Amino acid sequence: MARPKVPGRDLVPLCRRAVKEAQRLGVEAEAFASMAWEVETEIDGSNITIGAESMDFGVGVRVIKDKRLGFAYTSVPKDIPRTVRNALSASRLGVRVDNPLPSMTKLPDVRGLIHDEVMHIETERGFELTREVLEGARSVSKDIHVPSGGLYYGIERFAIVNTNGLEVDHVGTVASASANAVAGEGDKTSAYESVTSRALDIDMFEVGRKAADLAVRLQGGKGLKGGKMDVVFTPPALAELMGHTLVPAFFGDRVATGESYLKGRLGKRIACKGMDIEDDGLRPSGLGSARCDEEGSPSKRTVLMKDGVLKGFLYDMASASRYGAKNEDRDPPSSTGNGLRPGFRGVPMTGSRNVSIHGRTRAMEKIIASIDRGVLVHDIMGAHTANPASTDFSVNSPVLFMIEDGEVAYPVQSAMISGNLGEMFMRVGALGDDTRCVAGGTAYYIPSVWFRNVQVTG
């Protein structure tokens, strides 16, 4: 079978067309075009479905007239002039904007965003790679069932052109392998594993094996006597929790409006000594990396916390202009390169890109050996119900193990874990040596983290 044809549409000319129409109408404007193309090879039990192809494409237009913002979008190129006029009409009732559109400036280079082998995987090769995931799961037990998972790969692309002379074009590749494995007959247990990368450097067999191995180890789960105890969150569980609590607390607009527990704490200790947190839009091969953000501001590395002390916040252009001075963390206030969009259908807002935790690490075996009583958490549910203003949370974990006397003792059927993540970072026992990338709306490059004295309920 032939490999899928990679779409080669050039987005910049489409954006230029929109900007030219806006200039004809005498208004400032910005056009943002994006295209996401992917091919997915899915596992469905013992079957592999090859090459389901999808593409999402469109152009969003922002116009500014009399300092009022209007927005409209289309996925039909011939409708671009009409879309500009629709955005102009919308500006009559639009929000007031005081920050100008960015001008063209020298953008930094970022390594490792495009990998040719991802863009040109033969269909047969995609099938073989997906079969390796299934074989990895079956290597643990022939009775393992894999109801879902597989391989997807493709390209992401965006372009921005505005009336201030800005023209940028971003292209990146992405590949991801996943497996959802189910073990047991009557008392079924399941586990999920996923790895995402810019390159095709994923060990497909290991993805399936890890999911199956965890599902098998969860068999025979026991009840849990609750109370305050140590909790070790693995990277996938911690990323899920951070994404709904700690990370939004660093957004400058939330800080200024009192929707973050970090308001008034700049320069103060917010975590244990030796811990750093940063957001880096320039990270080589980072899933959230690009030369600029999605409104054209140059990408940057922003240190949010250094040695446990709060150092700064994240901004898009609008929030930097409106709130940066109030937060007293930059003079003059400017974007940190964190203006992100929900695709071409929305306008920029503050978002995180490649969030990482750094510090002195300890081998995971030594962390477990240091715990008399606690739980090792591989997955959580319900993080979306957490309070992002306070970082209070209460989540359920169906994938966790009891730690007793320095050993992983047995699987736990289910447990509720609750607390305040901001306060918990003041009670960190150690960072693990198992840093990995966890993909999502934000890319997290984080290790397992051992927290002391956390409420766990059976």
What the block records as the tokens of 344 is 């071409």
Burial of 218 from C-beta contacts in 10 A (0-12 / 13-18 / 19+): buried
What the block records as the tokens of 155 is 């390209």
Closest CA to 434 of 370, 379, 367: 367
Residue 345 gets which letter from DSSP? G
Neighbours of 348 (CB within 10 A): 24
CA-CA-CA-CA torsion for 347, 350, 354, 359, nearest 10 degrees? 180
Half-sphere exposure of 317 (CA within 13 A, CB side): 18
Neighbours of 194 (CB within 10 A): 17
For CA atoms 243, 277, 336, 283, the dihedral sign is: negative
In DSSP terms, 251 is beta-bridged to 314
- Confidence (pLDDT) at 332: 62
**How many whole angstroms separate alpha carbon 177 and alpha carbon 213?**
16
**pLDDT confidence bin for 2, thresholds 50/70/90:** very low
**Per-residue pLDDT tens over the stretch 33-60:** 999 999 999 998 888 987 778 889 999 9
Say what the pTM is. Answer: 0.94
- Going along the chain from its start, the domains and CATH numbers come out as 12-216 (3.30.2290.10), 221-458 (no CATH)
Neighbours of 363 (CB within 10 A): 12
Cβ pair 303, 258 in contact under 8 A: no
**Per-residue pLDDT tens over the stretch 332-389:** 668 999 999 999 999 999 999 999 999 999 999 999 999 999 999 999 999 999 999 9
How remote is the C-alpha of 84 from its chain's centroid?
31
**How many whole angstroms separate alpha carbon 204 and alpha carbon 193?**
11
List, in sequence order, every beta strand (DSSP E) within 234-314: 276-280, 301-306, 309-310
Q: Is a pLDDT exceeding 90 seen at residue 105?
A: no
**How many whole angstroms separate alpha carbon 428 and alpha carbon 445?**
18
With vertex at residue 411, the alpha carbon angle to CA 408 and CA 415, rounded to the nearest 5 degrees, is 110
**Per-residue pLDDT tens over the stretch 303-333:** 999 999 999 999 998 898 888 767 776 666 6
